[in-house]
Structure 1
Amino acid sequence: MTHVQTFGTLPSGEEVRVVEIGNGVLSARLLTHGARLQDLRLAGVAHPLVLGSDRLEDYLGPMAYFGATVGRYANRIGGAAFVLDGERYALDANEGGRTCLHGGSEGTGVCNWTLAEAGADMAAFTLDLPDGHMGFPGLFEARVTYRIEAAQLLVEMEAQCSADCPVSLAHHSYFSLDTAGDVAGTRLHVPASHYLAVDAAKIPLPGAPAPVAGTAFDFRVPRLFGASGIDHNYCFEEAEGVVRLMAIASGREGLSLVVESDAPGLQVYGADHLPIAGLPGLEGLSYGPRAGLALETQNWPDAPNRPDFPDAVLRSGATYRNVTRYGFRR
């Protein structure tokens, strides 16, 4: 029987629910707040596989994006605005007053979704956002489904919009594959030959994607992540509906994470922003800089302002789809 209970209450009075799913090999705890992965466990591994908290208040503060489904446009849109079909749309400039990050201050990652369906090994969440929400056009309807198959977590995202609108939904977990508390010793493989160089606001620079060859961004041959400072999008060829390898991360203790998706981009980020003093986490753990590794499958950042990037506009009447698989092996 699916286990659903109350996780906490938002300041608005809304109830946040938690649902537990699993198959005896892999198990997950999911929150309606942010359609969020709160905890993930693999049989035979003693520690949590993602960074999370047992307290709702932490997700209303510094852990707002941990495990969340972020959007309606994940990552950043430069100038917090874009022009579509000749019309300019001003967005919520929630990052330094310069950019729109993860759909704005009230983006999908901090909304309380509806638990629409739940079974022993799956749960689906839905969310409706009104026309003009955070400056984006059209009534936005999204659905995120989590499924567990063997030692694999599948995240399936769908969305529709009543008006043409840029859309990118991304799963924003920080993964931890060993007990070191620092992903510098995680071995990473990303089979991408190009990445997006960015400016001080983390907006892609003009011009074509930069080659990784000869740079600190080259993970085509697996190597240690290190104290890299990487928070960049890796560029993959457009292949709609084709799920392919995007990354393999391997911890010090023999556990590996394989990420596969049909998205054209992968944001790699080592959580450098976390405070040295640490944030309180699951099982009394403290999360400091580089405590987890985010591997976010997405459309390219600032694509609404870059006609040379893969098209990220969801047309009215069409359906946005993204499938990502997070598989674990020892």
Structure 2
Amino acid sequence: MAVEAFGRVDGVEVQAVTLSGGSGPRARVTTYGARLTELWVPDRNGVLADIVLGHRDAAGYAATKAYLGATCGRFSNRIAGGRFVLDGHVVEVDRNEGAKSLHGGRAGFDRKIWEIAEVSARSVTLVAVSEDGEMGYPGRLALQVRYWLDEADRLWIAMEAQTDAPTVVNMVNHSYFTMAGSGSVMGQQLRIGARHYTPVDDALIPTGEVRAVAGTAFDFNALREIGADLPAPDGFDHNLCLTGPLEAKWGEALRFCAEAVDAASGRRMELWTTEPGVQFYTGAHLAGGLPGKDGAPIAAFTGFTLETQRFPDSPNQPQFPPARLEPGQRYRHLMAFDFTPAPA
């Protein structure tokens, strides 16, 4: 276990924690935004590579709006018009993407400096508070995010929240993955356990329809190259509806989300989750020359996200899985990443 200084944001010290079980995968997490900043995974020959995009230090993350590796909330993804009705009252939340709210607003969970509550060689628990009225959301939330490597070297992320008043919660992890460790992800392979998706309008707000993926660019039910059939020049930025039921998996109730593979190296990842949807985004808007960990700029299509979630705009779409949280309830969102190299 190593806890290190990771720079300062607004004069406050930020820390980073490295989790490792030995010779296998290792992860690095920072208190700024409860972010996953590094994830080292072996290929079929045991050679480790860092498969998540990021910056060198806290200042790099604070200077950008790409949400790299961040815990996002209070309501992640988009809310149309930055407003919804809760118990007959109109709730107005921060609009930070034109007329929409995205990932909780300009000062969402990704901008918080979280506190380390517990830490060990394999695990770190981070805590924070989202006050009543923060970014317009009702209710005071007690927040917790735990990252840990289990004895089989799987990486787990558990996002939890409790409230003192009715509210909506949809926390996501916003890591950008690259199974090769660098370069374009267009030739990397992906399988997603979803037979439906939620079409969007020009503002990337779901229309309310749930449409079958069969015969469309959104059909990833068989492993295929990410760039083989893009729906538009900007690629993917869509919610897919996970098909499988919750099943007993590694001591938890989880459903299959995705399998990602780099055929050349054999680096492979499976993702399982508690959530009903996943936002698959191919990083078209990373083209602004963001400085990466090696100092080279991060380019478009050099990372993809798998943000397991409740559906976008669900506070305004009653037919979607609900995101409401009541006092006395606990919001708990699990992600489990399993790394088993693909055969040659």
State the TM-score, normalizing by the size of structure 1.
0.94
- C-alpha contact 1:186 1:224 (8 A) present in aligned 2: yes
Contact persistence 1:65–1:110 (CA under 8 A): no
2:180 aligned residue (175, 178, 181):
178
Give 1:101's aligned residue.
102
Instruction: Confirm whether residue 230 of structure 1 aligns to residue 254 of structure 2.
Output: no
**Given the alignment, which residue of 233, 238, 258 partners 1:247?**
258
- Verify the 8 A CA contact 2:244 2:256 in the aligned structure 1: no
In structure 1, distance between residues paired with 2:315 and 2:243: 18
Q: Please state how far the C-alpha of 1:45 moved relative to its aligned partner.
A: 2.9
1:158 shift after superposition: 0.9
Work out the CA distance in 2 between the residues paired with 1:63 and 1:106. Answer: 11
CA-CA distance at 1:61 after TM superposition: 2.3
Secondary structure of 2:14's partner? strand
1:74-85 alignment runs, 5 A limit: 74-85=76-87
In the alignment, structure 1 residue 275 sits paired with structure 2 residue 275: no
Shift of 1:238: 8.8
Is 1:48–1:282's contact at 8 Å kept on the other side of the alignment? no
- Pick closer, same or farther for the CA change 1:282–1:289 going to 2, 3 Å: same
2:205 corresponds in structure 1 to: 203
Q: Does 1:256 align with 2:268?
A: yes
Which residue of the other structure, out of 184, 189, 192, is the alignment partner of 1:190?
192
Structure 1 residue 110: deviation in Å?
Answer: 1.3
Q: Which residue of 1 aligns with 2:326?
A: 315
Deviations 1:130-189 (A, max 9, x none): 100000000011100001023311001110011111101111100111145111001110
1:242 Cα offset (Å) = 2.7
Structure 1's 179 and 310: CA in aligned 2 closer, same or farther, altered over 3 A? closer
Residues 51 and 181 in structure 2, CA contact (< 8 A), matched pair in contact too:
no
Question: Which is further off, 291-300 or 222-231?
Answer: 222-231
Matches of residues 52-131 of structure 1 in structure 2 within 5 Å? 52-62=54-64, 64-96=66-98, 98-131=99-132
How large is the Cα RMSD of the aligned pairs?
1.6
Shift of 1:6: 1.3
1:244 is displaced (CA, Å) by 1.4
Give the match's secondary structure for 2:148.
strand
Where does structure 2 lack aligned partners over 5 or more consecutive residues? 247-251
Q: CA offsets per residue over residues 230-284 of structure 1, 9 Å max, x none?
A: 11011125967730111001113211110100101111011110116x3221234
Q: Distance in 2 between matches of 1:143 and 1:6?
A: 21
Q: Distance in 1 between matches of 2:111 and 2:313?
A: 21
Task: Quote the offset at 1:62 in angstroms.
Answer: 2.4
Shift, 1:31, TM fit: 0.4
Conserved? CA contact 1:42–1:151, under 8 Å: no
Aligned residue among 270, 278, 283 for 1:266: 278
Match of 2:249 in 1: none
Q: Secondary structure at the match of 1:160?
A: strand
Q: Could you say which residue in structure 2 is the equivalent of 1:148?
A: 149
| Partners of 2:126 and 2:145 within 8 A in 1 | yes
Q: Helix, strand or coil for the counterpart of 2:294?
A: helix
Relative to the length of structure 2, the TM-score reads: 0.91
